[in-house]
Amino acid sequence: MKQTKRSIITFMLPAVVLMVVIFLYPTLRTIAMSLFKVKSVTTPLMDWKFVGFGNFFKLFKTPLFVRSMVNILKIWIYNGIATMVLSMLFALAFTKDIRFKKFFRTIVYLPNVIAAIAVGYMWLLYVYNSRFGLFTTMFAKLGLKYLADYQWLNSDHMFFSMCIANVFGNVGYFMMMFIAGIEKIPQDYFEAASLEGITGFQRFRHIIFPLTKGVLRTAIVLWTTRTMGFFALSQVFSGVNTYTPMLFTYQTLFGTEVASESVNAGMAAAAAVLMTVIVVIVSMILNHAIKDDNYEI
Amino acid sequence: MKNNKRKSDFRWRKEITLLPSYIIGIIWAFFTIFMIGWIIAASLSSTKEVFTGNVLSTGLHFENYTKAFFRNKALMNLLNSVIYTVPSCILTIIVSAPAAYCLTRFKFKFNGLIKKSIITALGIPGIMIVMPLFSIVSTLKLSGTHLTLIFIYTATSVPYTTFFLMAFFQGISDVYEEAAAIDGCGPIQCFWRIMFPLAQPAIMTVTIFNFISRWNEYFMALIFANKSELRPVGVGLYQTVQSMMQSGDWAGMFASVVIVFMPTVIIYLFLSDKIVAGVTSGGVKG
């Protein structure tokens, strides 16, 4: 018995210590820091000045932060809808009995193994380029003059362009989740339904959709977490229109290349806490709103 | 004969109902492959060819790569990425595999609490933990070394890896351990000698995921390794493109982008079966 206890400690200790050092302590300290006036991350504890929710109020009075929140909300909604719809379409298409199924899945998932920063530059440097870009040459060949002349990297269009790149990068990931969900549905359901002469849409509406609701919920929770962490692309497509809370926090923490007087670690911590709280609330709402339809086999 | 005809008829009808699926698959696949293919072609052309749209018309310009590798330090960045990812992938397994095994096999006081903490840790965004970590690192004067990021990558991978491996250990019957115990093998020895080798397939899969996600990690790297001799490929790419934009070296920029995505794409193409199976079996990273 004693030996078991000792081996449990040997098995668990490294993992527990690492988790305390990297998650528990930093999270608690960030929450604490959000309530204090702290100039820089390295400011020692005795120089922290308690301000209650002052940092949070200040955040909402900072136009750039408000702007970044509006941007991220737009990304969450519009890109979220586009990503979910496209992923579901691909998942439906690639769980059917088609040829080259594996090849299609592999290619659609491919952007997920490429660093976000590289995906961003592939779009910024090549696809959107106004002289030799893929879109310009492709639309010109197709005779779509408006689209061929469209300035994708014009500061008014930058946000939209970034969104397309973002959706492109995310579709494969959620497609895989939906494929996993669809393939878990017992085959009998489809067989019974096809005997009844069900159409493709009915098949989706009455079998697949209800039975993958749980997956959809998980997908939206993950989408929310991923969107809050949106960073690399907004650094590649830089501009006020593509500003996101992560970038705001990063710059409030370390200053920008041009100005360092804006550094305010307390406010950065408040932004981090706010972002985390939003993710938690959204997840909780989703867990209540979308209930699994239990099915017994 | 009649039967045969009906069968082929039926197949035709089936293929036609599948047509929309083929169309969206082909369009998306063509777009992705063309985009990556063109960028690789452009990385081997001169900037002039890139602008005139005749990539690869004057042979292969490998000098874009030599320039990127040496003058823009891509080689050093690659080496740094290897230094960060390989040790942290190994350490993550050494820490997580015993923990995952212990949590699925032994009943003890804090078992439930630790499992719950692992799930919670999966959802904590990086931004919540960087600030205190940064202050620890600067107090310990570790900011000029590779150790910081190796440690951070190891520790942040522990919850996901443990979670993934727990599902695997749950599926292994305990007859092996019973046999080992009869032979007088202690729990720790039994784990490393018997269970750990048995878990190889799951360990491989989760390590591939860890490797790719560490290789592509950007935010932590930007904060903890943003000095020229410490930069991994992602952060290095940002710096390189910023400076090449100024000099207008487009072919060089494409070469730098290719250097960043090639390693993971090659790994993916070789191991895509394992990766795709890993993702669809429910081991999706949270």
Across the 297 residues of chain A, what is the mean pLDDT of every consecutive 10-residue run? Answer: 78 94 94 92 87 93 92 96 96 88 92 94 93 89 86 89 95 92 85 80 84 88 92 87 90 74 87 94 88 52
pLDDT tens readout for residues B88-146: 999 999 999 999 999 998 888 889 999 999 988 988 889 999 999 999 998 888 888 89
Which of B10, B17, B18, B21 to mutate: most A Cβ within 10 Å? B21
Q: Is some CB atom of chain A closer than 8 A to the CB atom of B86? A: no
Residues, chain B? 286
Q: Is some CB atom of chain A closer than 8 A to the CB atom of B191? A: yes
A47 CA to chain B: closest CA distance, Å?
Answer: 14
DSSP state letter for A206: I
pLDDT tens readout for residues B2-34: 444 455 556 777 778 788 889 999 999 999 999
DSSP state letter for B82: H
**Residue among A284, A5, A223, A213 at smallest CA distance from B108:** A5
Torsion over CA: B104, B107, B108, B112 (sign)? positive
pTM: 0.89
Compare CB distances from A121 to B21, B191, B237 and report the shortest one's residue: B237
* Element containing residue A181 per DSSP (H, E): helix A158-184
Interface ipTM: 0.88
Alpha helix locations (H) across chain B? Answer: 2-17, 19-43, 47-52, 63-66, 74-105, 111-122, 126-139, 147-170, 175-182, 187-190, 196-198, 200-216, 219-224, 233-247, 250-280
Residue B75: half-sphere exposure toward Cβ, Cα within 13 Å: 8
Q: Is some CB atom of chain B closer than 8 A to the CB atom of A85? A: no
The whole-angstrom separation of Cα A136 and Cα A152 is 9
